[in-house]
Amino acid sequence: MVEHIMRTEQAVSWDVCLELFMGGDKRLTVVAYAFPNDPPERERLSLQHATMTRLFEGKLYFAPLNEGFPPRRILDIATGTGDWAIEIGDRFPNSQVTATDLSPIQPAEVPPNVTFFVEDSYVPIMLTAM
Amino acid sequence: MSTSEDTTDEHGRSEEWEYTVPFDYIHTRVTAGCWSSFRDQIAVQAFEALNPGGFFESQEFDGLFSSDDGTLAPDSAIARWSHDLCAASESLNRPLVMARYLKSVYEEVGFVDVQERIFKVPTNEWPKDPKLKELGRMWESNMSQGLSGFSSYLFNKVYDRSPAEIEVCSAPADLSHDVIADLVFRSPW
């Protein structure tokens, strides 16, 4: 069986995901990431963020981070639409926030201390000191 | 702590992070289903990418439903669906059941002062308490938009079910959802 790695720069919807695997092309057996990244999914991620915030009664984090001695460099892995990363950037305006995701679904306008990186399937992440 | 000699993943991509300056705080949220091995792809590397005394925090949920009084019958439709979903994710090497193992995984890779907090989320509006009711409503919406699509993908891929055969159970009343575990870990000084 031939294995393909699917990687697309277009917005992927659930229909596309399902079509690929239900379709006749049985050669497509490997996908880097199973989730869509279209507008409905972005909305869902924002809702999910709001739900988590409510669940945690407004707390973004439970780590004993100290606003008097803030964490200088913060990394958010699989940041999705970047809601958490943006909020932590606002909370610690003098800290540098790096946030990564496979999908480029983060807003273009972000606080100046927040930077999003799209993980490329073929190229390792190389970030130097900012 | 040991790392695998072969640092390429099943897609032939390098798994090694290449950050040149360490972080003070690393965070993950709701990433179950993204990884074949959270331990190797994330935990080990987070440990190495953190300054001594830095913090790593994961806010993750487990893929299984539970009920507060333990009355979820194993042969009920919702229990079977939940089990099938998690088993399918396992067979695709993207396990949804992950959060419950994280504490021991992190201790294994070297984090200390591990704190685990467990939250329960209602699956719909069943609670009488207005705050929980609203939370349940929001989580139900999140699940119906997200998990149902993911479960369709899994059920089709693993069990070869057509869309007509795939039934997404809406959770019956009085079930709490997936326990959400928030874990905070510290890198040793």
pLDDT, tens digit, for every residue of B17-30?
767 789 999 999 98
Q: Do B23 and A63 touch (CB under 8 A)?
A: no
B111-158 tens-digit pLDDT: 888 888 878 777 777 788 899 889 888 887 887 776 666 666 666 666
Q: Do A71 and B156 touch (CB under 8 A)?
A: no
The confidence band for A87, taking pLDDT boundaries of 50, 70 and 90, is very high
Whether the predicted interface score ipTM is above 0.85: no
Amino acid at A123: V
A24-53 tens-digit pLDDT: 443 333 344 556 677 888 888 899 899 889
Q: What is the pTM of this model?
A: 0.77
Percent of chain B with pLDDT over 70: 60
Helix orientation angle between B130-159 and B77-91, rounded to the nearest 10 degrees: 50
Consecutive H or E run containing A117: strand A114-118
A91 in contact with B at a CB cutoff of 8 Å?
no
**A11 vs A37: CA distance, rounded Å:** 6
- Most A CBs within 10 Å, among B10, B29, B42, to test the A interface: B29
Chain B CB contacts of A51 under 8 Å are 121, 135, 138-139, 142
Chain A CB contacts of B176 under 8 Å are none
Task: Between B184 and B151, name the one with better pLDDT.
Answer: B151
- Which residues are bridge partners to B82 per DSSP? none
Residues 26-65 of A with CB under 8 A from B: 30, 32-36, 40-41, 43-44, 47-48, 50-52, 54-56, 61-65
Please tell me the distance in Å from A73's CA to the nearest CA on chain B. Answer: 5
In chain B, which residue's Cα lies nearest the Cα of A22? Answer: B156
Chain B CB contacts of A121 under 8 Å are 11, 13
Q: Do A35 and B57 touch (CB under 8 A)?
A: no
Task: Between A59 and B71, name the one with better pLDDT.
Answer: A59
In chain B, which residue's Cα lies nearest the Cα of A61? Answer: B57
